[in-house]
Structure 1
Amino acid sequence: MPSTTVDAPAPTPPRTSHARRWTGIGWGFIAKLALMMLVNAFGLAAILSAVNAEAWGIMTAAIVLLVAADWIYFSKRAVPLKYIFPGLVFLLVFQLFTMAYTGYVAFTNYGTGHNLSQEQAVDAVLIQNEKKVDGSPSYPLTIIQDRGTLGFAIVDGDVVKAGTAEQPLQEVPDATIEGGRATSVPGFEVIPTSDIYTNQQLQKDVVVLRVPVSDDADEGSIRTQDATTGAIYRSTMVWDEGAQTFTNVDTGVVYVADSSVGSFVAEDGSTLPVGWHVVVGFDNFVKAFTDKNYSEALLKVTAWTFAFAILTVLSSFFVGLILAIIFNDDRIRGRKIWRTLFILPYAFPAFMSALLWKGMLNRTYGVINDWFLFGLDVPWLSDPTMARVSVLMVNLWLSYPYWFLVCTGALQSLSKETMEASRIDGAGATRQFRSITLPLLLISTAPLAIASFAFNFNNFTIIWMLTGGGPPMADSNTGLGYTDLLISAIYKISGVQGGKADYGLASALSILVFIVVGVVSAIAFRQTKKLEEF
């Protein structure tokens, strides 16, 4: 019987459902796409904000970073950058940019009276020297807006005139007047007075708003103080853009724009209180060393900063070391309890501890004078010398637990065989400590001591919370005090307290502090290598 060959049926291709095809895209890709949409949205918002602020450098950086992010996360070749890029962006934004901007400000006169551009300074001078025009009537006034732009509508007789800061007053024929005030202004939205009284930002915007009376700036502008009535004001200063001069129409004094110092200067050397920021080179660094208002005070502050950092590290290290040696002895009972008690100051926030000590050291009702010194009147925080002693004492109380922990761990890591061998060789406790224990401890703790020095060199918290940098130096009008460190002095010079700000000088001092700490740390780290060789 002849054999018959039967062909096997062709395999049926598997069915692909819509759900499987959708899954084939990859949920990871979908999540990445959604995340990159958010990144691009925030990136575009940052670019538009930079454009509006005319910050072209920031705009360029934002564009570069956004394009780089899109290329990295949609490319299959830049796998390592997918993990590194976020850290690089944070490093650039929060570290390098901050340092670069601080360096830029250090070479400018940026500060009180010089925090505007020249165009903004001109507007500020004109506004600050405005006076109400003699004989100007008080017009009933209504606050209006056109697509978010605020304006005024005044009633002049039977006529309603409306305008904005960019559009001078013009008559509005079909406006409605009720109770002597405009209640409907075609082309504008009337803002109820109640809304103005309940919105602080709107109140500020209304008070600073000026609406020109006409195209001629000499005729003045309408301004208001109560959002219900307005009057015509005109500046006593006249700006000549071509000659770059201000002329006071009342006195005839001419102020010339001096771009080297960013001020409007008269022939007699007087200047207008408003200027603009310009690059001044190394003037801030020179000022820190030569200006008598700052040089002497900053020299004292610098000396105290070094003394404070060095004494704090040495005192806290030796107190912590002594306690660590004592409680490293197996013969002491309850060592765990004692160690817990000794590290308690380290467990509390430093600013709370400083405030607590500030109350206890109070000269009038502090418990230190009342309880422990039996009512003795000791000016812990008001006398220059005692204030510095108090700062060192409180910082010792806060710092020694750290070294207690570090030295305890270092002692427990020492080789027992080495100590036993030295004891067999006849070395006493003092010789063991001087020749073995201390050198070995210094090898492991020296880098931490350098870090502690850098920290205390900029220990703003203890100074500000305990003494505020005071008491003030009697022979200085800079506002600096006897316990100020360089970091707190920089804080005061920056004007954060509400005084006159000098951001340029503060930034210059910040750079100097950075250099000093860096140099000291580099030298100290180099010296630690000698300890390892020893």
Structure 2
Amino acid sequence: MPSSDASSVSSTWLKWGILSLVSIIAGYAIVLMYAKGESSFALLTLVLVTAGVIVFARKDTYAHRYIYPGIAAVVLFIIFPLLYTVGIAFTNYSGTNQLSYERVQQQFLDRTFADEDYKFQFQLYHAGNDQVQFYFSQGDQGLVSEPVTLNKGLTQLAISPTDVVPSGEKAKLRLVTQNRRLLSKLEVVTPDGTSLAMSGLRQFAAKTSLYLLDQDGESLINQQDGKVIKPNFDIGFYQAVNAQGEFEGNQLAPGFIVSAGWFNFERILTDEGIQGPFIKIFIWTVIFAGLTVLFTLAVGMVLASLVQWDELKGKAVYRMLLILPYAVPAFISILIFKGLFNQSFGEINQVLEGLFGVRVNWFTDPYLAKTMILIVNTWLGYPYIMILCMGLLKSIPADLYEASAIDGAGPVHNFFKITFPLMIKPLTPLLIASFAFNFNNFVLIQLLTNGAPDIIGSSTPAGHTDLLVSYTYRIAFEGGGGQDFGLASAIATLIFLMVGGLALLNLKASKNQLA
């Protein structure tokens, strides 16, 4: 018993030690994330770590330790990204508006300009032992440094007045260019305490802050021209203001993130350059997913019925050959088909030209490009349906076919009156799931056409073969006018609602099937 008690005490101390260490590390990480403005990630870490500590520390919650990792993973990888994406949809977050207002203001305050009244020409003179002396001149005034070595440790240099030029050999310009990175980071301090920074290959000048913060804590005053700029919180940019305090002139980069309300959703519905392509792509996405399910179902069910036919010889070989496309990685098959459909050198066009004298524009004609995508996706998807149907065919009672044969029915009649009705009901939830998968079939579009051919007149990157998911990706990462993450998130939110509706339909269909 004493040894058992000692083991229990040591286990308790070990548990509390680990929990304390995890809490300290997590607390430090939370403070860092919050200090850098990542409050959402800090809150996520706080919630997950606090919940974990409570689960493992309390006796009444200790039984939940087995399900906590799964719940934490769902929160971390599903719920949080979803909420984060929805949150971005209500902002102007884009390639030009990525920082917080405070960080953008600090960037403006950190900008400097060379003071023309405090500018010095400089030369380097060799001082022996691989050392050099800096000599600065402005009119009749001369300033010189002590001999120093040009290395990474040289970050600050003091200079003093002199009436004579250093006696060493003047260094060539090549020495300056070779050490330009080091010299650009060097701070030169004059006798009156002014800091000089490199402003040219032969020049150092006093760096003065370009902007000064006004008393209101928002306005910035340009010290070169006296103009005042203020943050425009409606668009997320600093802009110049006139005497009446009205915004005028161009937006000054970088921009900052502000709440945009329903603006991104309104753009989808009202902006002709977005609305038109969005509707076209939405309709094509539904048609693509629907036709894919229809074609794969037809091909898969027919082939499953054929390979299960008792009169067919070598059924095992046919099954193996027909299932092979399912065993090959999809991206390899897609790239192979991309080569086969090549308009100039592809084998498919060569065969068509040899037989009919035509070359098909698979990648430049919108309708032919969509036809090509459906052909490739049917090839990729039919083995899955065929495997399902092969299993379901085994569950159909053989006496049904025997009774049908007595009535004189043939194979076609049996297929439509017995096989199809008995298989379609259990297949329905799987077909809905297949529709939802193809609704977001990003890999196929990205590798085969990348959305091409492009839709003319679209204000965002959009193609005739884009699905909503690839359209969203292109807006977020290929935007020519700036990556528009806010608009992409709004479209992603709509996709989530659509796919979520399909998921609910799938659950309902599954319940009806079980009933």
TM over 0.5: yes
Report if the CA contact (8 A) 1:255-1:271 is conserved.
Answer: no
Report if the CA contact (8 A) 1:458-1:485 is conserved.
Answer: yes
The answer to whether residue 216 in structure 2 is matched with residue 242 in structure 1 is: yes
Classify 1:34/1:388 alpha carbon distance in 2 versus 1 (closer, same or farther; 3 Å).
farther
Q: Percent identity?
A: 32
Report if the CA contact (8 A) 1:117-1:277 is conserved.
Answer: yes
Local SS of the residue matching 1:115: strand
Unaligned runs of 5+ in 2: 125-132, 138-142, 159-176, 241-246
How far does residue 86 in structure 1 lie from its aligned partner after superposition? Answer: 1.2
Partner residue, 1:87: 70
How far does residue 514 in structure 1 lie from its aligned partner after superposition? Answer: 0.9
Q: 1:417 aligns with which of 399, 415, 432?
A: 399
Report if the CA contact (8 A) 1:176-1:185 is conserved.
Answer: no
Partner residue, 1:500: 482
Counterparts of 1:185 and 1:235, CA distance in 2 = 20
Q: CA offsets, 1:5-62, max 9 Å, x none?
A: xxxxxxxxx9x8xxx5797348976875676466446524432432332434443443
The answer to whether residue 67 in structure 2 is matched with residue 97 in structure 1 is: no
The equivalences for 1:454-469 within 5 A come to: 454-469=436-451
Partner residue, 1:486: 468
Report if the CA contact (8 A) 1:155-1:181 is conserved.
Answer: no
Partner residue, 1:63: 46
User: Which range moves more in the overlay, 47-56 or 448-457?
Assistant: 47-56
How far does residue 272 in structure 1 lie from its aligned partner after superposition? Answer: 2.0
Counterparts of 1:132 and 1:270, CA distance in 2 = 24
Partner residue, 1:473: 455
Question: What is the RMSD computed on CA atoms of the aligned residues?
Answer: 4.0
Q: 2:379 aligns with which of 374, 383, 397?
A: 397
Classify 1:210/1:400 alpha carbon distance in 2 versus 1 (closer, same or farther; 3 Å).
farther
Counterparts of 1:44 and 1:209, CA distance in 2 = 35
Report if the CA contact (8 A) 2:187-2:197 is conserved.
Answer: yes
Code of the residue aligned with 1:472 in structure 2: it is D
How far does residue 490 in structure 1 lie from its aligned partner after superposition? Answer: 0.6
The equivalences for 1:272-283 within 5 A come to: 272-283=252-263
Classify 1:248/1:361 alpha carbon distance in 2 versus 1 (closer, same or farther; 3 Å).
farther
Partner residue, 1:112: 95
The equivalences for 1:116-515 within 5 A come to: 116-125=99-108, 131-134=113-116, 136-137=119-120, 157=136, 177-178=147-148, 222=197, 231-234=205-208, 239-240=213-214, 242=216, 244-246=218-220, 254-266=228-240, 267-268=247-248, 270-371=250-351, 373-374=353-354, 376-495=358-477, 500-515=482-497
How far does residue 409 in structure 1 lie from its aligned partner after superposition? Answer: 1.1
How far does residue 187 in structure 1 lie from its aligned partner after superposition? Answer: 12
Code of the residue aligned with 2:93 in structure 1: it is Y
Code of the residue aligned with 2:214 in structure 1: it is D
Local SS of the residue matching 1:261: coil
Report if the CA contact (8 A) 2:364-2:453 is conserved.
Answer: yes
Code of the residue aligned with 1:69 in structure 2: it is G
Counterparts of 2:358 and 2:12, CA distance in 1 = 74
Counterparts of 1:41 and 1:377, CA distance in 2 = 68
How far does residue 480 in structure 1 lie from its aligned partner after superposition? Answer: 0.9
Counterparts of 1:425 and 1:68, CA distance in 2 = 67
Local SS of the residue matching 1:109: coil
Unaligned runs of 5+ in 1: 1-13, 142-153, 159-170, 189-196, 198-202
Counterparts of 1:110 and 1:356, CA distance in 2 = 38
Counterparts of 2:366 and 2:238, CA distance in 1 = 41
Counterparts of 2:499 and 2:217, CA distance in 1 = 48
Q: 2:59 aligns with which of 64, 67, 76?
A: 76
How far does residue 282 in structure 1 lie from its aligned partner after superposition? Answer: 0.7
Classify 1:184/1:385 alpha carbon distance in 2 versus 1 (closer, same or farther; 3 Å).
closer
How far does residue 157 in structure 1 lie from its aligned partner after superposition? Answer: 4.5
TM-score by length of 2: 0.78
Classify 1:324/1:137 alpha carbon distance in 2 versus 1 (closer, same or farther; 3 Å).
farther
How far does residue 326 in structure 1 lie from its aligned partner after superposition? Answer: 0.8
Classify 1:156/1:414 alpha carbon distance in 2 versus 1 (closer, same or farther; 3 Å).
farther
How far does residue 94 in structure 1 lie from its aligned partner after superposition? Answer: 1.1
Classify 1:416/1:211 alpha carbon distance in 2 versus 1 (closer, same or farther; 3 Å).
farther
Counterparts of 1:292 and 1:245, CA distance in 2 = 36
Q: CA offsets, 1:468-520, max 9 Å, x none?
A: 11111122242211111110111011125776111111111111011112224
Classify 1:420/1:525 alpha carbon distance in 2 versus 1 (closer, same or farther; 3 Å).
farther
